[in-house]
Structure 1
Amino acid sequence: MPEKPPAIESFKESTKSPESELSPEVLEKVMNKVQDINEAGVAYSFVSGGPYSAGSIFEQDNLQKTKLVRILKEGLLGTPEKFYLEGVPPTKEQWAKEAQVSLRKGGRSNVYFNVTGMAHEEETPNTQSGETWISKSAGSSKKNALAFIFDLSKFTYDDDTNKMSRKYYETYYKRSTRKFTTAYGFNLSHRVPPRFFNGILLKLQDNYQYDQLAAEIGILSEQVYKEKGNLLLPIYDVYGNLYWPKKMSYEEVKKFVEERDKNKE
């Protein structure tokens, strides 16, 4: 069972403001992406866990750091079986080559993801205790994990799931009331580019690591996107608390989003 969410009191502690290194213009762009991650219809894909924990992502020569940098640069790549079994994050060129080979052999090159609000009843979150759809999902059962949330509106639904084409699969979210287990979820073919990303989610065993890891990922993202500040992403925990570029509790996030969107009307 997922650990309890970090105590809200921790957000009142006096810490260095994480947004201090961002220009006002860039900060505004990132904050415009901030959202309530527990709303229905949020697409998310876990990309780490197991032996390569998010908590050790910045160890020297760590595979997860390499994987994260490549995802930030190249997007979520549908993983051909070869790379899935070897646990090696492919470059975009390697991925394209292996994906073509896999498709010719009748295989698949899919990105696996879930959508909030589409899980079975047993995975319905107890919001009174701080749970969210994502914190209750199978991906959050790992001690340490990292996920990306992305814009599902950019994808087109394909009824023929056996037809391997460049069409992206959308979920049944707008078309059906069917429920699924997050251990399986949905798939799309065959890439989610970085421009479709909306945020990064962390699930860590030790609550005290969130501040440090979010700050480090923020710095890494700035290095990757140094010429593309519009691609920088807000970083949350799976309970909806925001850690970068500003620090807000989940309740503060919801209030911020409500006020921001109200002013846009």
Structure 2
Amino acid sequence: MSRIDLALSAKLAPQNYGFEEGAEDFLALLMDLRRVRGFDVNWDSQWEENGPLFDVRENREGYLKKFREYNSLDIDVFSMWAFENSEHKLYELTYRWNNWRPDHLSGEIYRPHPQYGTQAQLYIDLIEAVTTWKRPQHLAFGPGIYMRDHHPLDRARVGIRWMGWLPFALNPSDVPEAELVRPMNGGTLVVTQSQFWQAWEANPDYSRAAIERAQEVEIRLNLLGVLPTNIELARGDWGSR
């Protein structure tokens, strides 16, 4: 399977808790994702090439022990990660917390799902699971190259790329350029279009029209005042009730 370019970035309010609390939260997310179509996978970590795998479900204590050791020298910043282990790695998730301002859940989609491909609903379900787990300040999902090469706003202002979640109530009439705008977990899901697309020209799924549509949506969201800057996210209270 060919590599694709899709990345998740969820900026969270600071939790201000230690390693054990953050680790339990991350494990809870991984277990919740096992109930989500397309993400019902085994989550593992691996520390050396060809080394042993630490399965989150089957070897929870071994997994936690490795990350306790990894984080033992830090008292302010903690991180954990897990990936889907198969012949062709599909996903990876990383959680960083405590003195990351803001705390951050990031993810990479490396390959199309072998059964479901790159259906937009897979990633909408992922966003719903993440926003159920914790209410973000902001969530963006889509091609990283889009952010690098095609982001239509000032670099300090965070967009949504292909789809995202905003901690504000929006109606479809507010963002007529988007294909889908609907309530989700105390905020709003915005999907620029349902068709999968990529942002580099050599890719067979490249779409200039999709890039331009995403740009139009982000410009509209910026005019509505619902896209934060990195400085606003660093305060930790963007979009709070």
Q: What band does the TM-score fall into relative to the shorter chain?
A: under 0.3
Higher helix share: 1
Higher relative contact order (CA 8 A, sep 6+): 1
TM-score with structure 1 length normalisation? 0.25
